[in-house]
Structure 1
């Protein structure tokens, strides 16, 4: 069985968060969803568990950050094409996300957004030939020239 990844995210409004991810085309696993949590099926092996802050707090003794003002993690998912990156980004913005930058290095293309709870998501396409052979050498200045932040 392949390793599964469960990304647990604290959310302020469970219904709003559920609607947001459904707007992106993801399905909900109702068997693991209730008034405290929504199980979003990103793929067969990746699940985003959206948890109310109160329920999330039951799993940690640490303080829970406000993702709109602090960075907890940057979540990056691959896409099959530049067009898929553009499509998911457009859906996210239409569903209430905030744009958070984009990159186009030719061999790699990405667009980012912050979801309604402030969690940062990147959708990335990489040229399969470049991925197999390694990325071309870019200077830090070249990378900055091809990166925009919203």
Structure 2
């Protein structure tokens, strides 16, 4: 089996969250979707499972964090600088909150940030393929 990642997120409104992720370009995988959870596919190896709070509680007794907390930031690699910026705009248009942090441009890499409807922090980034492959020397910061 290929290495994959399934990000599990509690959501307050499953249908609204499905629409939000669809607006960002995710597709729904109906085989893993019901009235308590939905599998939203970003790529062949990246899946986001959005779960109602009741469904989430079947996996853990840990409390669901309050909206606005920042335990983790999830980052999606985009194919271009423009795509990274467009996802932030799509998130805002679909009800998310853009620019949790200002966009960052390091020349060889650009990133944007937003939160989804439940306050989960997402980043979109593009990196120059030469930097990613090691063909380009990446500037260091002090």
TM-score (norm 2): 0.92
Find the aligned partners of 1:88 and 1:62 in 2 and give their Cα distance. 31
Find the aligned partners of 2:73 and 2:95 in 1 and give their Cα distance. 18
Task: Say if 2:73 is the partner of 1:74.
Answer: yes
- Aligned residue in 1 for 2:126: 125
Q: Deviations over 1:64-99 (max 9, x none)?
A: 212x22113110010111011112111111111101
Deviation at 1:128, TM superposition (A): 1.5
Task: Say if 2:84 is the partner of 1:91.
Answer: no
**How much is the aligned-residue C-alpha RMSD, in angstroms?**
1.2
- Aligned residue in 2 for 1:107: 108
Q: Is the 8 A contact 2:10 2:53 kept in 1?
A: yes
- Aligned residue in 2 for 1:144: none
- Aligned residue in 1 for 2:19: 19
Q: Is the 8 A contact 2:37 2:52 kept in 1?
A: yes
**Which one has the bigger helix percentage?**
1
Q: Is the 8 A contact 1:75 1:121 kept in 2?
A: yes
TM-score (norm 1): 0.87
Where structure 1 has 5 or more consecutive residues not aligned to the other structure, the ranges are 140-150
Deviation at 1:47, TM superposition (A): 0.7
Find the aligned partners of 1:3 and 1:12 in 2 and give their Cα distance. 29
Find the aligned partners of 2:71 and 2:141 in 1 and give their Cα distance. 28
